[in-house]
Amino acid sequence: MTKIAFIGIGNLGFPIALNLIKAGYDVTVYNRTPEKAKPLAEAGAKLASTPQEATQGKDVLITVLADDKALLGICTDAAIESLGAEGLHISMSTISPETSRKLSIQHQQFGVDYVAAPIFGRPEAMAARIGNIAISGPNQAKEDAKPLILAGAAKGIFDFGEDPGAANVVKLAGNFMISAAIEAMSEAYTMAEKNGVSRQDISEMFGQTLFACPIYQNYGKAIAVNKYDENVGFRLPLGLKDLNLVLDTALLGKTPMPFANIVQQRLISGLAKGREHWDWTGLAQGAADDAGL
Strands 131-135 and 119-120, by their bridges, are antiparallel
Is residue 215 part of the contact set for a copy of itself (CB under 8 A)? yes
Shortest CB 134 distance to a copy of itself, Å: 7
Among 72, 192, 232, 268, binds a copy of itself (CB under 8 A): 192
Is residue 200 part of the contact set for a copy of itself (CB under 8 A)? no
Q: Write the CA distances from 204 to 167, 233, 285, integer angstroms.
A: 33, 22, 19
Bridge partner list, 47: 29
**Is there a catalytic annotation at residue 171?**
yes
Closest among 285, 286, 280, 168 to 215, alpha carbons compared: 280
Bridge partner list, 115: 90
Coil, helix or strand at residue 70: helix
Interacting residues of 217 by C-beta distance below 8 A, sequence separation 6+: 207, 211
Among 55, 249, 264, 281, binds a copy of itself (CB under 8 A): 249
Pick the stretch among 58-66, 69-77, 108-116, 203-211 that binds a copy of itself (CB under 8 A). 203-211
Size of the site for a copy of itself (CB under 8 A): 65
Which letter does DSSP use for residue 36 in this model? G
Query: For a copy of itself, which is the closer residue by CB, 43 or 212?
Result: 212
Other C-beta atoms lying within 10 Å of the C-beta of residue 56: 18
Sheet with strand 154-159: strands edge to edge:
119-120, 131-135, 154-159
Contact 132, 154 (CB under 8 A): yes
Shortest CB 195 distance to a copy of itself, Å: 4
Instruction: Looking at residues 255 to 284 of the shown chain, list those that interact with a copy of itself (rule: CB under 8 A).
Output: 255-260, 262
**Annotated active-site residue in 58, 142, 171, 241:** 171
Is residue 35 part of the contact set for a copy of itself (CB under 8 A)? no
The catalytic site residues sit at 171
Where along the sequence are the contacts to a copy of itself (CB under 8 A)? 97, 120, 132, 134, 156, 158, 160-161, 163, 165-166, 169-170, 172-174, 176-178, 180-181, 183-185, 187-192, 194-198, 201-202, 204-206, 208-216, 246, 249-250, 253-260, 262, 287, 290-292
